[in-house]
Amino acid sequence: MRILMTGHLGYIGTAAVPIFHDAGHEVVGCDTDLFRGSTFGGHVGAAAEIPDLGLDIRDLTPDHLAGFDAVVHLAGLSNHPLGARDPAVTDAVNHRAAVHVAAMAKRAGVGRFAFSSSCANYGASGEALIDEAAPFAPLLPYGQSKVDAERGILALADARFSPVVLRNATAYGLSPRIRFDLVVNNLTAWACATGEVLLKSDGNAWRPLVHIQDIARAFLAVVEAPRSAIHTEAFNIGATAQNRRVIELARMVAEAVPGTALRFAPGAGPDRLNYRVSGAKFARRFPHAVPRRGLRESIEEIAEACLRHHPSPAEFEGARYARLAHLQGRIAQGEVANDLRPMRGIVTVAA
């Protein structure tokens, strides 16, 4: 299949491109590399070698999308801090631009559209294990933008256009464009850099978790599936067994990185985001693509990379790797406008 992948140079995209290539698909990217300064380990890998439209997703037209069999839409503002920076821009990029790309794909005759959504749509759901039928209760602009995008994209479905929604759990794992603003990655980086596992909350909140390679494999599964298996469906992406309390994750990191101790940041208190998510629907529909990466092995893998490359707290909490700080730095330098349009050259957003 010929597949357009938006956001192919981002955290998930750089892990997904090789998986799609290994499955025999032709992948073309669309990403103007806003976070190129966040490259971890010195190179991006296979994602940098594929053709790239180099356009902001808001500028895509049917001509750009003609000839593709499917679109994997990963591009977008990728977390709550980014989403809260300017809710109007978050809506423009995560909601209206996503619906725009889907509409352009439909007009171009693309048959399959896989949208990267989020379990953050469910908000603060507490102890109950929730499935795809649970009501939306987004707490912040990021979650609301994903809810609105889902509704707009699914409304475009017809006999020739099949959208499918993947609601990703909280991602973790190594990537050439690693994010250290994710709980597993962040706890591990702190342990390696300082000898302390730093908890920024009281640790009691639940998080559903999924490795980025398992997210990529889920996208591959829905792109390759028969239409009847995915048409207008939504799937939670994450293993039910990988719902963990944050304090449990911190203890796992402390065990995986010898000589480290748990510490709570000043003012650490309850986390409003608290939810447990069932991955049973996806597991039933796609048993060959269920998440298979384990937390302990992945923490050890991240730790090995951190000990090799030595990112400092100033780097992984600051403008080099933290998405919000990196973006704010580029805006301050006059490279990106507040609406994320380019001021010098071309930029876009990659999750």
Euclidean distance between the first and the last CA atom of the chain, given in angstroms as a whole number: 23
188 domain-assigned: no
Counting the structural domains of the chain, the total is 1
Contact predicate 220/17, CB 8 Å: no
Amino acid at residue number 161? F
In tens, the pLDDT along 108-137 reads: 999 999 999 999 999 877 788 999 999 999
Q: What is the pLDDT of residues 39-69, one digit of tens each?
A: 998 789 999 999 999 999 999 999 999 999 9
- 202: in domain: no
Answer whether residue 170 is part of any domain.
Answer: yes
Q: pLDDT digits over 192-215, tens only?
A: 999 999 999 999 999 999 999 999
241-263 pLDDT, tens digit each: 999 999 999 999 999 999 999 99
Over residues 67-93, the mean pLDDT reads 93
Alpha-carbon distance of 6 to 54, in angstroms, equals 10
Is 258 part of a structural domain of the chain?
A: no
In whole angstroms, what separates CA 243 from the centre of its chain? 17
User: How confident is the model at residue 32, as a pLDDT?
Assistant: 76
Whether 37 is covered by a domain: the verdict is: yes
Residue 272 reports pLDDT greater than 90 = no
Looking at residue 48, the DSSP 8-state letter turns out to be G
Whether the predicted pLDDT of 2 surpasses 60: yes
Q: Do 195 and 263 form a contact (C-beta atoms < 8 A)?
A: no
In a domain, 160, yes or no: yes
Read off the amino acid at residue 118: S
Q: What amino acid occupies position 231?
A: H
Residue 97 and residue 31 in contact, taking contact as beta carbons nearer than 8 Å? no
HEC profile of 209-232:
EEEHHHHHHHHHHHHHCCHHHHCC
CATH number at residue 227: 3.40.50.720
Residue 180: other Cβ atoms inside 10 A: 24
Range of the domain at 220: 2-178+210-240+276-293+324-332
Instruction: Find out whether 97 and 149 touch, Cβ atoms under 8 Å.
Output: no
- Confirm whether 342 is domain-assigned: no
Dihedrals phi, psi of 292, to nearest 5 degrees: -130, -10
Q: Looking at residue 347, what is its pLDDT?
A: 42
Enumerate residues 6+ apart whose C-beta is below 8 A from 1.
Answer: 25, 26, 69, 70, 223, 224
Residue 54 forms part of a structural domain: yes
Specify the residue for token string 């980086």.
189
